[in-house]
Structure 1
Amino acid sequence: MEVKDMQFTTNLSREEYDAFVASHPNSNLLQSYDWARVKSNWDHLYTGMKNEEGKLIATALVLIKPLPGGFSMMYIPRGPILDYTNQPLLTAFLRHLKQEGKKRRALFIKMDPAIIIGKYPSSDTSRPKNGQEALVKNFENAGCIHQGFTTMISESIQPRFHSIVDRPEDLLASLPKKTKKLIKEAEKRHLKIVQGRHALLEDFASLVAKTEDRKHVALRSKEYFKHLLDCYGDNSIIMLAIADLGLILSENQKKLAKIEADLTSLPENQKKKRFTLEEQKAGLEKDIANLEQFGKELGTLDPTPIAGVLTIKYGKCAEMLYAGMDDRFRRFMPQYKTYIENFQWAFDHGCEEFSMGGVEGTLDDGLTHFKDNFAPLIHEYIGEFDLPVNALLYKPSKWAYNRRKGGQD
Structure 2
Amino acid sequence: MKFITNVTAQAHDEFVKQSPLNHLLQSSTWAKVKDNWSSKIVGVTNDDDELIASSLVLIKTLPLGFTMYYAPRGPIMDYHNQDLVGFFFKEFKKFAKKDHALFIKIDPAILVESSEPVISNLKQVGADWLGLTKNMSDTIQPRFNAVIYKEDFSEDNLSKKTRQFLNKAKRSEPIVEIGSISLIPEFCELMRKTEIRKDISLRNAEYYQKLLEQYPQDAFITLTRINLGKLLSNYQADLMKISNDIDKITNNKKLKAVNLEIENIQKNISELSTIIKEHGEVVPASCELCINSGGAAETLYGGTDITFQKYYPSYLTWYETINTAFNKGARTVNMGGVENSLSKDDGLLRFKKHFNPQIEEYIGEFNIPVNGLLYKLSNLAYNRRKHKK
Report the CA distance between 1:264 and its aligned residue.
4.5
- Give the Cα–Cα distance (whole angstroms) in 2 for the partners of residues 368 and 145 of structure 1: 30
Corresponding position of 2:157: 174
| 1:233-290 alpha-carbon deviations (Å, 9 max, x no partner) | 11111111121111101001111223334444433x523x233223322322222222
Corresponding position of 1:286: 267
Corresponding position of 2:203: 220
Equivalent of residue 371 in structure 1, options 324, 341, 352: 352
> Aligned pair in 2 of structure 1 residues 255, 10: CA closer, same or farther (>3 Å)?
same
- Please say if 1:401 is aligned against 2:365: no
Report if aligned partners of 2:152, 2:356 keep a CA contact under 8 Å in 1.
Answer: no
Corresponding position of 2:310: 331
Corresponding position of 1:342: 321
Report if aligned partners of 2:80, 2:117 keep a CA contact under 8 Å in 1.
Answer: no
- Please say if 1:110 is aligned against 2:91: no
Report the CA distance between 1:291 and its aligned residue.
1.5
Unaligned runs of 5+ in 2: none
Equivalent of residue 238 in structure 1, options 221, 224, 227: 221
Corresponding position of 2:301: 322
Corresponding position of 2:130: 147
Across the aligned residues of Structure 1 and Structure 2, the Cα RMSD in angstroms comes to: 1.6
- Give the Cα–Cα distance (whole angstroms) in 1 for the partners of residues 234 and 329 of structure 2: 39
- Give the Cα–Cα distance (whole angstroms) in 2 for the partners of residues 110 and 306 of structure 1: 39
Equivalent of residue 252 in structure 2, options 265, 270, 279: 270
- SS, match of residue 151 in structure 2: coil
| 1:9-45 alpha-carbon deviations (Å, 9 max, x no partner) | 1212221111001111111110001000110000011
- Please say if 1:95 is aligned against 2:90: yes
Please tell me the residue identity of whatever aligns with 2:215.
Y
| 1:179-210 alpha-carbon deviations (Å, 9 max, x no partner) | 10100000111212111111111111111111
Equivalent of residue 17 in structure 2, options 16, 22, 32: 22
Report if aligned partners of 1:133, 1:382 keep a CA contact under 8 Å in 2.
Answer: no
Identity of aligned residues (%): 41
- Please say if 1:305 is aligned against 2:284: yes
Report if aligned partners of 1:194, 1:241 keep a CA contact under 8 Å in 2.
Answer: yes
Please tell me the residue identity of whatever aligns with 1:322.
Y
Report if aligned partners of 1:74, 1:110 keep a CA contact under 8 Å in 2.
Answer: yes
Report if aligned partners of 1:61, 1:76 keep a CA contact under 8 Å in 2.
Answer: yes
Please tell me the residue identity of whatever aligns with 1:74.
Y
Corresponding position of 1:40: 35
- Give the Cα–Cα distance (whole angstroms) in 2 for the partners of residues 63 and 279 of structure 1: 62
Corresponding position of 2:188: 205
- SS, match of residue 393 in structure 1: helix
Corresponding position of 1:123: none
With 102-111 and 353-362 compared, the bigger mean Cα shift is at 102-111
Corresponding position of 1:71: 66
- Please say if 1:54 is aligned against 2:49: yes
The normalised TM-score by structure 2 is 0.95
- Give the Cα–Cα distance (whole angstroms) in 2 for the partners of residues 133 and 193 of structure 1: 45
After the TM superposition, which residues 252-267 of structure 1 pair with which residues of structure 2 at under 5 Å, given as runs? Answer: 252-267=235-250
- Give the Cα–Cα distance (whole angstroms) in 2 for the partners of residues 294 and 226 of structure 1: 30
- Give the Cα–Cα distance (whole angstroms) in 2 for the partners of residues 363 and 279 of structure 1: 41
- Give the Cα–Cα distance (whole angstroms) in 2 for the partners of residues 274 and 386 of structure 1: 72
- Give the Cα–Cα distance (whole angstroms) in 1 for the partners of residues 135 and 189 of structure 2: 29
- Please say if 1:186 is aligned against 2:148: no
